[in-house]
Amino acid sequence: MSLVSEGADFRGPMTAGPGLVEPMLAEPSLASVGDYVALMKPRVMSLVVFTALVGLAVAPGSLHPMIGFTALLCIAVGAGAAGALNMWYDADIDAIMTRTARRPVPMGRVQPGEALAFGLTLAGFAIVVLGLLVNVLAAALLAFTIFFYVVIYTIWLKRSTPQNIVIGGAAGAFPPMIGWAAATGSLSLEPVLLFMIIFFWTPPHFWALALTRTEDYARAGIPMLPVVSGDGATRRQILWHTLILVPLGIAPWALGFAGLFYGLTAAVTGAIMLALAWQVFRERRPVERASKHLFAFSILYLFLLFAVLLIERGWGGLIARLAA
């Protein structure tokens, strides 16, 4: 039994994120399957799959259920790949922040090089399989989304600008477009509208969380808006972005893409979002209840919008496709 035959290797500076640069002879891995699943950020992945499913289901035309399943599988694996690559690069700051300190790489259960190899392998498989079995446009969009999340957001923006999650939020907004592209092989205004809803939903959602964890972000040196510009500016920005988000949420009904039930849901939940954003705007530290309420409700808001769209537009379409 030798080091080479057992696959052990020297992991040098090139295989680790910024905070993990010590060259070392690796110990045989103790990483479990569960650790690799954790690398894929399953909770984020579930939201990605759900929004992609909505994009896929509301798209016009017929699609074989097996092709739809394959598309969702590839999108899920692609999202998992992006999560693993994010954890590889961010291991140094993950180790500092309370919320992320127990992730597999900072805990030492998965070596940085293993996370990098895992992420790159999954990304390659997801993109190639989506391109071969579904269509090239969807595969290209998935590749761009992974690139955007890992390179533009994680490596570049996250550590350099308080606008990190505003621009980086685009990565999380692409899945409905990928789903639509997988179903139709093209793009149109409807998936772009779904993209815009998630894009403008992301800043209020994350800034509401950041307001409650400012010290954590500051200790890790991440220039989140509350750290750089303070609470007041963040609360103003949350309100402004919510003011843009709510009309965008209603737009699918106003433009005739969705029915009355969706329009009513978007109006009522949008009003609650605005009320919560106003409370956050008015609230001052140390009280952070409004921020926590907004963060929690924003998840329900996005879920309800997409779920109602799925029921109204997609469910009937899915049944028709299955019957066809």
Partner 1 sequence: MTIGIAMNEQPKDEGVVLTEAQKRARRSRSIAIALSLAALVILFYVMTLVKGPMVLVRPL
The C-alpha atoms of residue 260 and residue 311 are separated, in whole angstroms, by: 12
Site for partner 1 in 188-227 (CB under 8 A): none
Site for partner 1 in 132-191 (CB under 8 A): 132-137, 185-186
CB of 64 to partner 1, least distance (A): 5
CB of 24 to partner 1, least distance (A): 14
The amino acid that residue 256 corresponds to is G
CB of 133 to partner 1, least distance (A): 5
3 binds partner 1 (CB under 8 A): yes
CB of 79 to partner 1, least distance (A): 16
67 binds partner 1 (CB under 8 A): yes
Q: What are phi and psi of 75, to 5 degrees?
A: -65, -40
C-alpha distances out from residue 165 to 28, 30, 126, 162, 224, Å: 37, 34, 25, 8, 8
Residue 105 or 137: the one with the smaller Cβ distance to partner 1 is 137
Give residue for tokens 């300190």.
Answer: 101
What does the buried/exposed string (b/e) look like for 188-220 if buried means 16 or more CB atoms within 10 Å of the residue's CB?
A: eebbebbbbbbbbbbbbbbbbbbbebbebbeeb
List of residues 6+ apart from 303 with CB closer than 8 A: 50
What is the distance in angstroms between the CA of the first residue and the CA of the last residue of the chain?
Answer: 57
271 binds partner 1 (CB under 8 A): no
- Strand, coil or helix: 324: coil
- Strand, coil or helix: 310: helix
66 binds partner 1 (CB under 8 A): yes
Residue 125 or 156: the one with the smaller Cβ distance to partner 1 is 125
Residue 185 or 259: the one with the smaller Cβ distance to partner 1 is 185
64 binds partner 1 (CB under 8 A): yes
| Binds partner 1 by CB under 8 A, chosen from 73, 218, 233, 307 | 73
- Strand, coil or helix: 25: strand
Site for partner 1 in 12-41 (CB under 8 A): 28-33, 36
Joined together, the tokens standing for residue 140 give 């290209």
2 binds partner 1 (CB under 8 A): yes
Residue 132 or 254: the one with the smaller Cβ distance to partner 1 is 132
Q: Is residue 69 within a helix (H) or strand (E), and if so which, with residue range? A: helix 65-89
Single out the segment in contact with partner 1 by CB under 8 A; choices: 45-53, 131-139, 202-210, 293-301. 131-139
Longest dimension (CA), the chain: 68
**Residues 227-266: x where in contact with partner 1 by CB under 8 A, - otherwise, as a string:** ----------------------------------------
Residue 126 or 208: the one with the smaller Cβ distance to partner 1 is 126
Residue 73 or 233: the one with the smaller Cβ distance to partner 1 is 73
CB of 67 to partner 1, least distance (A): 7
310 binds partner 1 (CB under 8 A): no
**Of 191, 180, 192, whose CA–CA distance to 63 is shortest?**
180
111 binds partner 1 (CB under 8 A): no
Q: Is residue 101 within a helix (H) or strand (E), and if so which, with residue range? A: none
Structure letter (DSSP) for residue 18: T
- How many H helices and E strands in the chain? 16, 2
For partner 1, the binding residues (CB under 8 A) are 1-3, 6, 8, 28-33, 36, 64, 66-67, 70, 73, 125, 129, 131-137, 185-186
